[in-house]
């Protein structure tokens, strides 16, 4: 049986059409598979913990690959980072048991969504944040988010196009924080849970921004959750603010 390797990777998703290989499109999966083939001569299929959308970033994406290569984890780590495009980096490579599956073995994930909350639009971070010019009440957002913590049916927070057998998920923590000093325009929303539906974090953030703008209140968020109806929740926040921070196994 071929050895199985677990890769922890980061990437800037700005110029990628998402994770999954697509014809004539630049994807993260395609970049890793092409680079692996250059190094080992093998055409492999790599599996990720999450299939991120176009424009979404990662600091802790986890990838699994079975390979007949005779290179060890350290050699693969060095070779991958030498040949991968500049917007993908391998943070670690380790050999794991053959029953490891990057998707199915994951028991938790942590996402961070970054909002640039200032009348002046961002320059250097424009591909990494959602620019919201209207001042947000981050304390109201933080307090309202507690309604979503726990095990619930999150059908109201799933976009069409990737329906799952169950829309029940558990969120263990949500934090909304504003930076201080020179970082005062930066608002970060951290969401941690055992799994996420399609666009779930982005819809949560879009809904919290409605509350931060004083257009909605906590009671509305609770009602939207209970409704199990996508039309009752807020907008889907744009992709560039989202980053997969960590995957737990």
Q: Which residues are annotated as a binding site?
A: 111
Q: Which of 30, 11, 13, 32 is nearest to 21 (CA)?
A: 30
The Cα–Cα gap between 77 and 115 comes to 33
Q: Are 225 and 211 in contact (CB under 8 A)?
A: no
Among residues 245, 225, 242, 246, the alpha carbon closest in space to that of 234 is found at 225
Active-site residue, selected from the candidate residues 12, 24, 34, 53 = 53
Enumerate the known binding-site residues for substrate.
111
**Rounded to 5°, angle at Cα 109 from 103 and 112:** 130
Catalytic residue status for 217: no
Which positions are annotated as active-site residues? 53
């Amino acid at each position: 049986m071929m050895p199985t390797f677990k890769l922890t990777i980061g990437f800037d998703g700005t110029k990628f059409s998402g994770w999954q290989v697509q014809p004539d499109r630049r994807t993260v999966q395609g970049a890793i598979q092409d680079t692996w083939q250059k190094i080992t001569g093998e055409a492999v299929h790599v599996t990720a913990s999450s299939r991120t959308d176009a424009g979404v970033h990662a600091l802790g994406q986890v990838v699994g690959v079975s390979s007949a290569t005779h290179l060890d984890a350290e050699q693969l780590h060095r070779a991958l980072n030498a040949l991968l495009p500049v917007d993908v980096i391998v943070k670690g490579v380790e050999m794991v048991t053959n029953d490891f599956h990057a998707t199915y073995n994951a028991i938790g994930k942590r996402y961070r969504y970054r909002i640039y909350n200032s009348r002046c639009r961002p320059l250097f971070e424009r591909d990494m944040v959602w620019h919201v010019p209207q001042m947000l009440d981050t304390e109201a957002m933080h307090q309202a988010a507690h309604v979503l913590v726990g095990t619930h049916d999150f059908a109201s927070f799933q976009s069409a196009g990737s329906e799952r057998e169950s829309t029940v998920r558990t969120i263990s923590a949500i934090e909304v924080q504003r930076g201080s000093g020179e970082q005062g325009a930066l608002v970060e929303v951290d969401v941690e849970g055992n799994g996420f539906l399609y666009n779930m974090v982005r819809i949560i953030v879009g809904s919290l921004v409605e509350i931060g703008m004083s257009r909605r209140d906590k009671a509305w968020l609770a009602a939207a959750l209970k409704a199990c109806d996508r039309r009752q929740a807020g907008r889907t926040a744009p992709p560039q603010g989202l980053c997969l921070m960590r995957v737990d196994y």
